[in-house]
């Protein structure tokens, strides 16, 4: 009897392993989903900060302290929009916009639209990252990265400029939306 019970348990384990393995494969996250989730969280903070700055302050750049030659607030936002396209250059993602076209923008509404559109473009690029191509090399020379590495750097780049935008907002007496009671 004990032998039959052990045989049944062993048989059930043998049958469960392939089913568990198949289920794990079917539910495994796609790398692009992970990058998109992270980008979405950061995008909300960046777009919220960009929207929080009044239009008449988009030309603000700090002058007190070590801020000589820094970008204006609007310049920070345009730089992020330009970079979101540039990071994924060569990935054959439709809808790319040239840096020169963004650089010409002057109104807050146009800059905000460019920022939002650039995140839509970046999300399209991130969605193409799979387990099979996440470590595929893209670019050449100093810009030679894996797809996953480039995606991570794009997200980190947004974080860096978000931090600068927060400083500019606070210098103008504005609490960033993500830092307000209830936050984002």
Are the CB atoms for 114 and 148 separated by under 8 Å? Answer: no
Token pair for residue 155? 């997200």
Say if 172 falls within a structural domain: yes
pLDDT surpassing 60 at residue 176: yes
pLDDT surpassing 60 at residue 4: no
Neighbours of 79 (CB within 10 A): 18
Q: Pick the closest to residue 164 from 94, 37, 16, 60 (CA basis).
A: 60
Query: What's the domain range around 71?
Result: 29-179
pTM of the model: 0.81
pLDDT surpassing 90 at residue 16: no
Instruction: State the total domains in the chain.
Output: 1
**21-53, pLDDT tens digit by residue?**
343 444 566 889 999 999 999 999 999 999 999
Say if 163 falls within a structural domain: yes
Strand partners, 138: 145
**109-161, pLDDT tens digit by residue?**
999 999 999 999 999 999 999 999 999 888 777 778 899 999 999 999 999 99
pLDDT surpassing 60 at residue 74: yes
pLDDT for res 96: 92
Are the CB atoms for 102 and 65 separated by under 8 Å? Answer: no
**30 vs 99, higher pLDDT:** 99
Domain at 109, CATH number: 1.20.120.450
Say if 4 falls within a structural domain: no
Say if 78 falls within a structural domain: yes
Are the CB atoms for 131 and 32 separated by under 8 Å? Answer: no
pLDDT for res 133: 93
pLDDT for res 9: 42
């Amino acid at each position: 009897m004990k032998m039959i019970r052990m045989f049944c348990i062993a048989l059930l384990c043998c049958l469960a392993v392939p089913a568990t393995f198949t289920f794990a494969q079917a539910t495994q996250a796609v790398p692009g989903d992970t990058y998109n989730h992270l980008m979405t969280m950061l995008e909300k903070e960046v777009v919220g900060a960009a929207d929080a700055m009044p239009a008449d302050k988009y030309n603000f750049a700090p002058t007190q302290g070590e801020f000589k030659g820094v970008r204006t607030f609007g310049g920070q936002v345009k730089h992020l929009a330009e970079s979101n396209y540039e990071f994924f250059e060569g990935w054959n993602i439709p809808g790319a916009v040239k840096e020169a076209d963004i650089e010409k923008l002057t109104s807050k509404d146009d800059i905000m639209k460019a920022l939002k559109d650039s995140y839509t473009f970046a999300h399209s690029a991130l969605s193409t990252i799979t387990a099979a191509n996440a470590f595929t090399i893209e670019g050449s020379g100093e810009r030679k990265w894996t797809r996953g590495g480039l995606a991570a750097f794009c997200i980190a780049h947004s974080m860096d400029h978000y931090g600068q935008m927060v400083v500019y907002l606070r210098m103008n007496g504005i609490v960033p939306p993500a830092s307000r009671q209830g936050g984002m």
